[in-house]
Amino acid sequence: MRAGFAIFGLCIVTFAQPTTFEIASVKVSSRTVGPDYNNQLIMSPTQLIGHNVTLRRLVAEAYSVQMNQVAGPAWLDENEFEIEAHAGSEGDRDRLRAMLRTLLKERFHLREHAEQRTMRVYELTTDKGGPKFSVAKDAARAAPTAGFPFHGDMRQLADLIALQLTISAAPDPDRPGLAGGAPPVVLNKTGVQGVYYLAIDIRPEPGSDMFTLWQRFARERLGLRLESGRGSVDVVVVDGAERSPEPN
């Protein structure tokens, strides 16, 4: 992971891209909503907006890892914040993440280091026939006839799967299962670039857990594979941070 950070830093110097937001507001949320509703974070080419986001969520986004790849004190999941940051001009997600890293160091005095740990992981890869979907076109966006809509890249799909895998099987297929526990690590190994609109239509079945359901859906509907195993995973360790941000 250290090598990846170094390469990204080199790119910033080479292309002279700004590493700070033009305008940024970070403050404590007026009320906490808890893990069932928090961590709403939206990134566009020019801005980042979050409601009731935890510091763990912000660190995960800044370093392009999943929340379970961020280690640190328990309060990283407790305090919730409102963030609105504008880049000033359009850029890609890596540029916004570099700006977010700077913001976290300035406002929260974040101190971190990278290391690798062995843990259970899930890997999302492409199946033999390749993906069964195409890059999203806003003009051609259509509401799904079943399931719920997903709009994002493959890393965000991996994040969604990680959350879904915490849902236990419901004894009654007409009632939804409940999410519980920390999401596992789901690594995006597809190599697929771009943003997509997908219809996620996974329904509970008696005797089937979410991993089995997602394995089948990914293979049959998306042309992807989801496999489980153990491996060495990059982890961002938070060595220290302020529990409240510096005033705007």
pTM equals 0.72
**How many domains are there within the chain?**
2
User: Which residue range forms the structural domain that includes residue 179?
Assistant: 118-232
Q: Could you please report the per-residue DSSP string of 49-106? A: EEEEEEHHHHHHHHTT--GGGEE--GGGGT-EEEEEEE-SS---HHHHHHHHHHHHHH
Q: Do 150 and 203 sit in the same domain of this protein? A: yes
Within a domain: residue 246? no
16 lies in the same domain as 62: yes
> Whose CA is closest to 41, among 148, 156, 181?
156
Q: Which of 114, 148, 177 is the last residue of a domain?
A: 114
Q: Which of 85, 114, 143 is the last residue of a domain?
A: 114
Query: Is 239 a domain residue?
Result: no
Q: Decide which of 68, 90, 114 is a domain's last residue.
A: 114
| b (16+ CB within 10 A) / e for 125-147 | ebbeeeeeeeebeeeeeeeeeee
Q: Note whether 150 and 198 are same-domain residues.
A: yes
Return the SS3 of 224. Answer: strand
Would residue 208 count as lying in a domain? yes
Q: pLDDT tens across 83-140, in order?
A: 999 998 888 888 999 999 999 999 999 999 999 999 889 999 999 999 998 776 554 4
User: In this structure, what token pair is assigned to residue 105?
Assistant: 């160091």
42 and 53 in contact (C-beta within 8 Å)?
A: no
CA 220-123-227 angle, to 5 degrees, is 55
What digits encode the pLDDT tens for the residues 16-60? Answer: 566 899 999 999 999 998 877 888 888 888 999 999 999 999 999
Pairing of strands 40-43, 47-54: antiparallel
Mean pLDDT of 63-90: 92
Give yes or no: residues 110 and 187 share one domain: no
Q: How many residues does the chain have?
A: 248
